[in-house]
Structure 1
Amino acid sequence: MSAHGRIGELDRMTAERTQSTHDARLVPDATVDELDPELLSGFLARERATSSHVFKNLTDEDVLLAFGAAKRDDAGTVRPTLAGLMALGRHPQAHFSSANIVFIAFWGPKSDPLAGGRFLDSRTVIGPIPVMVAETLASVRRNMRIASYVGGSRIDVPEYPEVAVREAVANALMHRDYSPEALGSQVQVNMFADRIEIISPGGLFGMVTVDNIGTYGASSSRNQFLSRILESVPYPEGYPERGFIVGNRGAGFARIQESLSRQGMRSAHLKSGSSRFCLTMWKGDAAEMGAAVQRAVCLRKGFG
């Protein structure tokens, strides 16, 4: 590696240990009218319900300013920040064209065109983070098998636990690198015959490593404003997902591993570098899916 390359690597390593403020930067050509009314209403209602003593007498504008979802420019005009647009905007890609998800479902186990790289499905997913998570889940559902039991009631067990996919996609969007240098790269969700890979720009942040991620006390947020906002942003109407985009920060990876284990699948594999993070979930075999169905039946009948 050249001296210039070593310096660049050291700069990236230093940046991964320093609190980022890229998500809090004001977007100078954006307006608050670009925020989605449904998402904004849900966010404000949640915060006023849970912290009424703090926010009950504040205007909507004041709440946005308090959470770093908006800032005042030099002329005093309130404008969205990157965090505000990504969490609450109707179309944040109008300002950040590559802050999206590229989803591809391949025929085989490789992406090499000479080794079965044809794809079954491909789409670019845009919109705010709540919409991108829900739309990506819809794409994954469309391209995986479902094992079903039909008795007194129907029980479906998908190849991949939806909670694991949802957490992994939400975390990729929440923790990705939003620095100007990284905004040319998208989050990738690659679905192969034997696995799903979820790749996000930027490695693990702060004191979190592949060895301690998901353990008690090991939690660092590259995008602290975006992460906090997403705790109170609901999924939009029209999608099957319910609740809020993220729960207790730091517990997402533990939920992924728990849901995989419950379905008899191997633990997710993590790989982190200076410029990207990859989480891989391996598909369970038919026997594992059958056993998962039987466990679900027993739980439904009260035997487990």
Structure 2
Amino acid sequence: MSNALYTAISAFSNKNGGSIFVGINNNNQAVGISLGKNTLENLANNIQRNTDPSIFPTIKVVQEKGKNIIIIKIEENEEKPVFFRDKSFIRVGKTNQRLSSSEIRRMVPDGHSGVYWDEKICENALIEDIDIEKLKWFLKESNNERNRDLDPELPIKEVLNKLDLIKDNKLTNAAILLFGKDPQRFFRQAEVQCARFKGTNPIDFADRKVFSGNIIDQRDKATDFVKDHIKLETTIIGTERIDKWEYPIEAIREAITNCICHRDYKLNSNIQVRIFNDRIGIWGCGPLPDHLTIKEIEKPHNSHPRNPLIAKRFFDIKFIEHWGTGIERIIQSCLDAGLPKPLFEIKSGDFVVTLKKYKITDEILKELNRRQKKAIDYLLEKGSITNKEYRTINPEISRRTALNDLRKMVDKKLISLEGSGSSSYYILVY
């Protein structure tokens, strides 16, 4: 049977149920299907093997104009989502649409019970799995950074209770990720992969490392990896030495911290930090929360952490703030460093932050007219520009002149046209 059959079974199982007719063509004509001795039994077994959780449909054969038609009746499954080959689908009209990561999460019962993943009990985890020294370090840091009054010499269990990291007398997922001796024994996906590529494509590795252990150390190790692979420029002004990184370390650290804190730990994937000659990409695991869009996160917004326990403990040691300002700080750090506004995207279901280099040389500027130079300044500050915005900063020109100016900049490979029609805009080429 084709993949389309199993896709339809997943879709019907996830919503409302339905019947699938095998032996009827797209014109609703009976073409029939040949039946062997074990056809129906094999079909039922294949459906069970290719669905997760396994689906047990009702299967029967009817005759239509002397031809065999198989009818597979699917009931909406109580346990959702139902997957076929690690993908899940839902019926929309007459088509089967693949579910996004956020749609899948909404189907999971925990998403409706108010129980966050990091608050859940980590089965089989014991107090002995906690790194006492890391916990004591955390207590000292939180006392210093947030004026908390937690005694590092208290019994471990009492401390973890005060930090809300024990539930029903058992360790939570957050406890293991924050202070576990070996968190990957419980969560193999809780790692940060870092790579320095040769050139501008993710093909040839110059260096790569995988950082495991607790998520506090992961944040620092991943940041240090980036520092090892970007340039540090030093200038002397009078008696003062000034160091300037190729990219602002504050922005890199903030982006990595956000990914570790807000990633979807239910997904079987790793955070990735990708360093190229012209950019750094930091890939999270999972999209933005359902109520947020890319445009909204660039503005002041309330903080809605996916993992509130981890977020609270990161707040205790000033890794993050509660006020939803992380993205703003990343943007401002890049602009202050003379770099363009970072790019925020959803790629393959994951939230991605890209920091880019753009060095405007005197040679480039000499080739531009006054209007185009103003556009470069605008792009460095805002990240993109439309024809209308170009005319706003150059009010004396027509739409056609603006279009000609922008086209010449495209031809020089300074900018590229994105989108189409009324939604088109230009960005710097890096």
Deviations 1:179-236, CA, capped at 9 Å, x for gaps = 2xx1x21001111111111111110014221011042234211111111111124xxx
> In 2 relative to 1, CA 6–273 (structure 1 residues): closer, same or farther, beyond 3 Å?
farther
Q: How many residues align?
A: 263
Match of 1:177 in 2: 264
Contact persistence 1:257–1:267 (CA under 8 A): yes
Contact persistence 1:23–1:81 (CA under 8 A): yes
Match of 1:27 in 2: 122
Rounded to whole Å, the distance in 2 between the matches of 1:22 and 1:274 is: 22
Match of 1:251 in 2: 325
Aligned partner (choices 328, 331, 350) of residue 276 of structure 1: 350
Aligned partner (choices 80, 102, 108) of residue 12 of structure 1: 102
Aligned partner (choices 222, 226, 235) of residue 149 of structure 1: 235
Question: Which structure's CA Rg is the greater one?
Answer: 2
- Whether 2:297 is the aligned partner of 1:213: answer yes
Match of 2:139 in 1: 44
> In 2 relative to 1, CA 29–14 (structure 1 residues): closer, same or farther, beyond 3 Å?
closer
Measure how far apart 1:11 and its partner are: 7.4
State the TM-score, normalized to the length of structure 2.
0.55
State the TM-score, normalized to the length of structure 1.
0.77
Structure 2: give runs of 5+ residues left out of the alignment: 12-87, 91-97, 363-430
Contact persistence 1:207–1:220 (CA under 8 A): no
- Whether 2:192 is the aligned partner of 1:101: answer yes
Secondary structure of the residue that 1:216 maps to in structure 2?
A: coil
Secondary structure of the residue that 1:211 maps to in structure 2?
A: helix
> In 2 relative to 1, CA 287–131 (structure 1 residues): closer, same or farther, beyond 3 Å?
farther
Q: Which moved more, 1:36-45 or 1:211-220?
A: 36-45
Match of 1:119 in 2: 205
Q: Which letter maps to 2:185?
A: A
Deviations 1:72-130, CA, capped at 9 Å, x for gaps = 3xxxxx4321111112223211211221011010011111xxxxx21111000111112
Rounded to whole Å, the distance in 2 between the matches of 1:271 and 1:196 is: 13
Match of 1:86 in 2: 177
Deviations 1:150-180, CA, capped at 9 Å, x for gaps = 241321111110000000001001110012x
Which structure shows the bigger proportion of residues in strand conformation? 2
> In 2 relative to 1, CA 20–28 (structure 1 residues): closer, same or farther, beyond 3 Å?
closer
Over 4 Å off, 4+ runs: 16-20
Measure how far apart 1:65 and its partner are: 2.9
Match of 1:301 in 2: none
Rounded to whole Å, the distance in 2 between the matches of 1:245 and 1:214 is: 19
The percentage of aligned residue pairs carrying the same residue is: 25
Q: Which letter maps to 1:65?
A: N
Structure 1: give runs of 5+ residues left out of the alignment: 73-77, 112-116, 234-243, 289-304
Rounded to whole Å, the distance in 2 between the matches of 1:85 and 1:123 is: 22
Rounded to whole Å, the distance in 2 between the matches of 1:284 and 1:147 is: 16
Measure how far apart 1:264 and its partner are: 1.1
- Whether 2:167 is the aligned partner of 1:71: answer yes
Q: Which letter maps to 1:38?
A: E
Pairing 1:209-248 to 2, within 5 Å after superposition: 209-233=293-317, 244-248=318-322
Rounded to whole Å, the distance in 2 between the matches of 1:208 and 1:105 is: 31
Contact persistence 1:214–1:253 (CA under 8 A): yes
> In 2 relative to 1, CA 150–20 (structure 1 residues): closer, same or farther, beyond 3 Å?
farther
Pairing 1:126-205 to 2, within 5 Å after superposition: 126-151=212-237, 152-179=239-266, 182=267, 184-205=268-289
Match of 1:261 in 2: 335
Rounded to whole Å, the distance in 1 between the matches of 2:354 and 2:130 is: 33
Higher relative CO (Cα under 8 Å, sequence separation at least 6) belongs to 1
Measure how far apart 1:15 and its partner are: 3.0
Rounded to whole Å, the distance in 2 between the matches of 1:118 and 1:13 is: 35
